[in-house]
């Protein structure tokens, strides 16, 4: 009754080129099974992904939002107090993070973030002039979030910030199977975890920054003192590798679509919708899981209690039932309802910060750069959850 497909979404060929697989999954039915993972069900259509994410009482996060079911296997690291939590804990921690990253708070960091974006694009133009090309990933997509986000959190500057990339790679790999990608990132992250946990402590966090504001919430009794470092860990887990790849994918989209870049250059106010459309077109976080809390159903298909539900956000974002010409990158589309930030009560709490980063970087490019060209083949950094580039050689032609 429920279609069963012989597809491993974590096989390298599908991580490299996921879109044909997404189409197969969407067309097979609203809910499918995957032979390599007999204990889960998967949804790839927009309607069902939205329904599952929108129903947090039947589809919980507390058993983990990766493939591992925390009811049966221990979590790989102490569980996040927001991502891997349900009410009432989630309600309490989310309130604190959502205030720290409220639209008003984001308005206050805007000018600084914009100035950094302009300075960085200037440095990239300079480097491009000297060397003929830049790496869109290393020089721009990584450099920018590694500067502005840890600054906002309140970490000291320095090359150790690269630890955040290794840590993010591990966190997002850990949401998939225990495959070679996971093992490799765990190997590399060894000494990094101690650095991350140390930098969750108040003495490493500039007074007034996002991290310190967590401790202020603990001082005010909104969360406990023991919860504070774990919520800072959420910033350090979720705040860098996500925007690095959101920006990287947006640069890739624009480099592959010169006509879209020309529209952006002609009207830099399109920076925000161009970033948003890039999130739809290449969802940074490709997949998340929920766990059925009770015997329930999706699109009338029975789903037993404790079943893991794989939600293919990236497939929902190209579902032709939802989007006309879904494979087209169209910066005039205004893709409201995309799933790249998830949706429902667990929808990305940092999305205003992420959008700010995307907007100001693309706006700085739009104003200073007439054209961007790929000067050679890009490489991919395979990850069980993230759509990530390893390198993207670009020529920036100044305006
Ligand atoms: C956390 C979904 C992703 C962006 C994410 C990763 C880690 C955490 C939250 C969100 O550690 O809380």
The residue whose C-alpha atom lies closest to atom 11 belonging to ligand 1 is: 234
Q: Which of 75, 79, 237 to mutate to test the pocket of ligand 1 (most atoms within 8 A of CB)?
A: 237
CA–CA separation, 154 vs 20, rounded Å? 42
* Ligand 1 centroid from CA 322, angstroms: 27
Q: What is 272-317 written as a DSSP string?
A: HHHHHHHHHHT-SB-EEEEEESSSEEETTEEE-TT-EEEEEHHHHT
> Token pair of 380, please?
């991919």
pLDDT in tens, 293-347: 999 999 999 999 999 999 999 999 999 999 999 999 999 999 999 999 999 999 9
Confidence check: pLDDT of 1 > 90: no
* Ligand 1 centroid from CA 143, angstroms: 21
How is the chain split into domains, by residue range? 4-398
* Ligand 1 centroid from CA 3, angstroms: 31
Q: Is the CB of 236 under 6 A from ligand 1?
A: no
Give pLDDT, residue 83.
98
Q: Does domain 4-398 have CATH number 1.10.630.10?
A: yes
Confidence check: pLDDT of 80 > 90: yes
Give pLDDT, residue 202.
98
pLDDT in tens, 342-390: 999 999 999 999 999 999 999 999 999 999 999 999 999 999 999 999 9
Confidence check: pLDDT of 149 > 90: yes
Q: Which of 171, 189, 227 to mutate to test the pocket of ligand 1 (most atoms within 8 A of CB)?
A: 171
Q: Which of 64, 80, 348 to mutate to test the pocket of ligand 1 (most atoms within 8 A of CB)?
A: 80
The candidate with the shortest Cα–Cα distance to 375, out of 350, 355, 349, 393, is: 393
* Ligand 1 centroid from CA 225, angstroms: 20
Give pLDDT, residue 9.
98
Contact 364, 247 (CB under 8 A): no
* Ligand 1 centroid from CA 384, angstroms: 14
Q: Is the CB of 171 under 6 A from ligand 1?
A: yes
What secondary structure, in 3-state letters, does 174-236 show? CCCCCCHHHHHHHHHHHHHHHHHHHCCCHHHCCCCCHHHHHHHHHHCCCCCCCHHHHHHHHHH
The residue whose C-alpha atom lies closest to atom 12 belonging to ligand 1 is: 234
What is the number of residues in the chain? 399
Q: Is the CB of 353 under 6 A from ligand 1?
A: no
Q: Is the CB of 61 under 6 A from ligand 1?
A: no
* Ligand 1 centroid from CA 343, angstroms: 14
Average pLDDT value over all residues in the chain = 98
Give pLDDT, residue 93.
98
- Closest atom of ligand 1 to 288 CA is 2
Confidence check: pLDDT of 267 > 90: yes
Please compute the mean of the pLDDT values over residues 124-144 and round it to a whole number: 96
The candidate with the shortest Cα–Cα distance to 67, out of 387, 310, 313, is: 310
pLDDT in tens, 195-217: 999 999 999 999 999 999 999 99
Q: Is the CB of 238 under 6 A from ligand 1?
A: yes
Confidence check: pLDDT of 279 > 90: yes
The residue whose C-alpha atom lies closest to atom 3 belonging to ligand 1 is: 238
Please compute the mean of the pLDDT values over residues 101-105 and round it to a whole number: 97
Q: Which of 176, 238, 339 to mutate to test the pocket of ligand 1 (most atoms within 8 A of CB)?
A: 238
Please compute the mean of the pLDDT values over residues 85-91 and round it to a whole number: 98
Q: Is the CB of 50 under 6 A from ligand 1?
A: no
The candidate with the shortest Cα–Cα distance to 202, out of 167, 238, 228, 221, is: 228
The residue whose C-alpha atom lies closest to atom 6 belonging to ligand 1 is: 238
Give pLDDT, residue 132.
87
Please compute the mean of the pLDDT values over residues 151-165 and round it to a whole number: 98
Q: Is the CB of 234 under 6 A from ligand 1?
A: yes
Please compute the mean of the pLDDT values over residues 35-64 and round it to a whole number: 98
> Token pair of 385, please?
């959850």
């Amino acid at each position: 009754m429920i279609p069963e497909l012989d597809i491993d979404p974590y096989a390298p060929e599908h991580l490299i080129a996921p879109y044909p697989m997404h189409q197969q999954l969407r067309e097979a039915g609203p809910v499918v099974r995957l032979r390599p993972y007999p204990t889960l069900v998967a949804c790839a259509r927009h309607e069902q992904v939205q329904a599952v994410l929108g129903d947090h009482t039947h589809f919980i996060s507390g058993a983990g939002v990766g493939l591992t079911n925390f009811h049966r296997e221990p979590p790989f690291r102490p569980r996040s107090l927001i991502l891997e939590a349900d009410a009432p804990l989630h309600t309490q921690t989310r309130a604190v993070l959502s205030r720290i990253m409220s639209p008003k708070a984001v308005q206050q960091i805007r000018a600084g973030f914009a100035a950094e974006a302009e300075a960085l694009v200037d440095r990239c133009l300079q480097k491009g002039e000297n060397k003929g090309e830049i790496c869109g990933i290393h020089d721009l997509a990584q450099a920018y979030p590694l500067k502005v986000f840890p600054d906002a959190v309140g970490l000291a500057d320095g090359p150790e910030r690269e630890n955040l990339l290794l840590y993010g790679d591990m966190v997002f790999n850990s949401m998939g199977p225990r495959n070679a990608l996971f093992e490799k990132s765990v190997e590399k992250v060894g000494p990094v975890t101690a650095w991350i946990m140390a930098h969750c402590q108040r003495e490493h966090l500039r007074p007034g920054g996002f991290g310190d504001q967590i401790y202020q919430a603990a001082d005010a009794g909104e969360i406990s003192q023991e919860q504070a470092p774990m919520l800072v860990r959420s910033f350090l887990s979720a705040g860098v590798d996500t925007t690095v790849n959101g920006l990287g994918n947006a640069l890739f989209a624009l480099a592959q679509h010169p006509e879209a870049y020309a529209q952006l250059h002609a009207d830099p106010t399109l920076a925000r919708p161009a970033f948003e459309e890039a999130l739809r077109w290449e969802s940074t976080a490709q997949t998340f899981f929920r766990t059925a809390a009770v015997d329930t159903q999706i699109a009338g298909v029975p789903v037993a209690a404790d079943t893991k539900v794989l939600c293919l956000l990236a497939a929902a974002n190209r579902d032709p039932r939802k989007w006309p010409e879904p494979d087209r990158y169209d910066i005039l589309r205004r893709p409201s309802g995309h799933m790249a930030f998830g949706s429902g009560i667990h929808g990305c709490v940092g999305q205003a910060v992420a959008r700010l980063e995307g907007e100001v970087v693309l706006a700085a490019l739009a104003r200073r750069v007439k054209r961007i060209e790929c000067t050679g083949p890009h490489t991919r950094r395979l990850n069980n959850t993230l759509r990530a580039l390893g390198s993207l050689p670009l020529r920036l032609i100044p305006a």
